[in-house]
């Protein structure tokens, strides 16, 4: 808006300058002195006339003043046949005649100024209405961006960790390259492909790779680009997008975050957004109307397929729905190799180790991890990235940077140490839990300390005993505080929230309660969709709700009692682990194994109360995908 105002002011000044120039020319003409014919004849007889131009209706020229300067004059002529003889006798240097100008000549002389006026009016008024990002005269045009092969092309070589999704999309590529191969057998290629999955799994990158592999035009837009405050704009933009696609066929149309325009119709309280529904109706018509022989394929991406309108998902529109899942161990290693192509990695780098320590990471997380490691190495003036930077980057991505400047009192530091030692010791003693990789009491992000457990492999199923062991590990910090200090702190807030949530899922969703039976008392965990979920009633009675609460409380209390017995029987190991934590601040898996087995460490451990180590004096090299146990605030 500020740029438009400046442009408008500039052109107003230019227009004013032109008017000033025209006025100056006209005023220059008006400086000619009006003379009577008698005065003109006297000047002729005196020989003062310098230049003269005679017309039937006007005489113009210049004469010499007393100081010798030339001055313009104009005279209305009279019937004087001897004027030429008088001019010759007076020795006038230059005199001539002029043809009288008609009305056509007058129009031609002023056409320049008239044309200039209309040009400035068009430029200032019309162009300014269209410019400035407002598109006042072109609201109905699609805002999709055309990406051709001239730009840096993305191919399947740049996409890793989703081999199944690439195989599904390979058919689309083959059709765009050779449509006759499918058409001669009577087969029809899918009109639309819906990519859905967790944020950061690479849905948009997959769509770009399809266009790059097929080497066809790629129109990309967002679902929010279609909806405006003006009625009918969204539908017009949908029509324009498909029209552009038909002109550039074969091509791909990509709509990111299609849930912004493709949500359930009549799902909102009070009827819904009419303009968005008009846009969705037009999208449905266009997808059902264009022929696959035209070579126009629509690819859409969303994180919320559950809120899309069923008419959009039926065969004939989005025929193929592809789930882009979170990468497994092999996929994470491939993704790391793709993002590490332009990074200088030092000798001894094992990306398989990093992949094992990043369970639960998606492609965007792994890209951020590699970038953070490169920044850390550059900050330390290193020639390449080493394992230390990669391991520390894992903690930075998940828990945030170390807060070395945060001063913690010796008493709070002791509480934090016992809290984290409780988590680690219970995890080490109970069978079936993920191995403890690292324990730290250095503040990082919102946590004052954390315990990292690394899964040995990717798991897709979890048994009841494993879930109960996880509950026990989460309760280890709270029980350790109560056992040692005979009091509790606020540090277990996040632990208790996770315990409560997991215990409720055991009873209400997973059917792992003998008392409640194998019945689901709650719908699948998902975000509330306004108008569809908010009015649903509870499907069980108040007595059942009370029984659910009692069963959840019973599971948590049973785990708490089990953890208290474990820590009481291993109190000496708990104290040794906490004292070592206060001194070293970071313990790896080998150190924890030694203490859990009752073996002394190589370095003697000083008495806890005489320790004066403060957080931040020693660095840490985080390793693994964290399951951080929050500590006292």
Question: Annotated catalytic sites, by residue?
Answer: 420
Alpha-carbon distance values, 192 to 138, 159, 227, 454 (Å): 28, 21, 21, 40
Between CA 612 and CA 420 the distance in angstroms is 19
Between CA 185 and CA 93 the distance in angstroms is 98
DSSP collapsed to 3 states, 288-306? HHCCHHHCEEEEEEECCHH
Between CA 322 and CA 128 the distance in angstroms is 45
Between CA 477 and CA 410 the distance in angstroms is 18
Buried/exposed code over 108-127 (b: 16+ C-beta within 10 A; e: otherwise): eeeeeeeeeeeeeeeebeee
Instruction: Scan for tokens 């020229």, then name that residue.
Output: 61
Distance from the Cα of residue 89 to its chain's centroid: 91
Task: Estimate the crossing angle of helix 571-584 against helix 464-485, to 10 degrees.
Answer: 80
Helix, strand, coil abundance in the chain, percent, nearest 5: 50, 10, 40
DSSP collapsed to 3 states, 494-525? HHHHHHHHHHHHHHHCCCCCCCCCCCCCCCCC
Between CA 226 and CA 432 the distance in angstroms is 52
Between CA 624 and CA 294 the distance in angstroms is 50
Distance from the Cα of residue 310 to its chain's centroid: 27
Between CA 170 and CA 175 the distance in angstroms is 9
For CA atoms 361, 362, 365, 367, the dihedral sign is positive
For residue 233, the surrounding DSSP H or E stretch is helix 233-247
CB 262 within 8 Å of CB 281: no
Between CA 528 and CA 536 the distance in angstroms is 11
119: tokens are 């040009």
Between CA 44 and CA 166 the distance in angstroms is 100
Between CA 74 and CA 484 the distance in angstroms is 116
77: tokens are 């002529």
Distance from the Cα of residue 463 to its chain's centroid: 38
Q: Give the E-state strand segments of 25-138 in sequence order.
A: 33-34, 49-54, 59-64, 70-75, 94-97
């Amino acid at each position: 808006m500020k740029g438009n105002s400046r442009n408008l002011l500039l052109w107003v000044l230019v227009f004013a300058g032109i008017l000033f120039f025209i006025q100056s020319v006209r005023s220059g003409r008006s400086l000619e002195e009006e003379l009577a014919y008698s005065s003109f004849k006297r000047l002729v007889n005196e020989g003062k006339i310098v230049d003269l131009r005679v017309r039937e209706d006007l005489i113009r020229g210049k004469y010499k003043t007393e100081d010798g300067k030339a001055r313009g004059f104009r005279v209305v002529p009279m019937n004087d046949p001897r004027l030429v003889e008088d001019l010759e006798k007076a020795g006038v240097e230059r005199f001539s005649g002029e043809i009288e100008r008609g009305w056509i000549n007058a129009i031609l002389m002023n056409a320049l100024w008239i044309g200039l006026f209309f040009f400035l009016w068009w430029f200032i008024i019309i162009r300014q209405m269209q410019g400035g990002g407002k598109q006042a005269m072109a609201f109905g045009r699609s805002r999709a961006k055309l990406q051709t092969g001239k730009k840096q092309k993305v191919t399947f070589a740049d996409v890793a960790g989703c081999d199944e999704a690439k195989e599904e999309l390979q058919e689309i590529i083959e059709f765009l390259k050779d449509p006759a191969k499918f058409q001669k057998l009577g087969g029809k290629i899918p009109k639309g492909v819906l990519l859905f999955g967790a944020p950061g799994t690479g849905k948009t990158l997959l769509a770009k790779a399809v266009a790059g592999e097929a080497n066809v035009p790629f129109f990309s837009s967002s679902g929010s680009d279609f909806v405006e405050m003006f009625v009918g704009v969204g539908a017009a933009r949908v029509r324009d997008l498909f029209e552009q696609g038909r002109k550039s066929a074969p091509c791909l149309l990509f709509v990111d975050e299609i849930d912004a325009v493709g949500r359930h119709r009549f799902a909102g309280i009070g009827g819904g957004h009419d303009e968005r529904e008009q846009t969705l109706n037009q999208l449905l018509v266009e997808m059902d109307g264009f022929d696959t022989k035209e070579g126009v394929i629509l690819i859409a991406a969303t994180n919320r397929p559950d809120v899309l309108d069923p008419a959009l998902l039926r065969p004939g529109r989005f025929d193929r729905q592809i789930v882009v899942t979170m990468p497994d161990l092999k996929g994470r290693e491939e993704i790391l190799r793709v993002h590490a192509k332009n990074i200088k990695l030092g000798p001894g780098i094992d990306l398989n180790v990093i992949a094992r320590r990043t369970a639960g990471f998606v492609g965007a997380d792994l890209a951020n991890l590699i970038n953070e490691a490169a920044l850390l190495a550059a900050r330390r003036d290193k020639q390449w990235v080493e394992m230390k930077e990669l391991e520390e980057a894992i903690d930075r991505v998940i828990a945030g940077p170390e807060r070395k400047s945060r001063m913690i009192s010796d008493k709070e530091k002791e509480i934090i140490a016992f809290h984290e030692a409780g988590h680690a010791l219970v995890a080490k003693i109970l069978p079936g839990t993920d191995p403890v990789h690292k324990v730290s009491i250095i503040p990082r992000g919102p946590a004052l300390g954390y315990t990292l457990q690394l899964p040995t492999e990717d798991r897709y199923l979890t048994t009841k005993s494993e879930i109960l062991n996880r509950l026990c590990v989460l309760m280890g910090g709270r029980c350790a505080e109560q056992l040692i200090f005979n009091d509790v702190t606020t540090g277990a807030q996040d632990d208790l929230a996770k315990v409560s949530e997991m215990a409720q899922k055991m009873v209400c969703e997973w059917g792992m309660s003998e008392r409640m039976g194998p019945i689901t008392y709650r719908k699948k965990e998902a975000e509330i969709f306004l108008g569809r979920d908010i009015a649903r009633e509870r499907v069980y009675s108040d007595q059942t709700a009370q029984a659910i609460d009692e069963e959840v409380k019973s599971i948590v209390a049973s785990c708490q009692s089990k953890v208290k017995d474990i820590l009481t029987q291993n109190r000496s190991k708990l104290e040794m682990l906490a004292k070592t934590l206060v001194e070293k601040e970071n313990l790896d898996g080998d150190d924890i194994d030694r203490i859990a087995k009752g073996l002394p460490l190589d370095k003697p451990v000083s008495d806890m109360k005489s320790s004066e180590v403060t957080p931040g004096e020693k660095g840490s090299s985080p390793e693994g995908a964290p399951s951080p146990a929050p500590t006292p605030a």
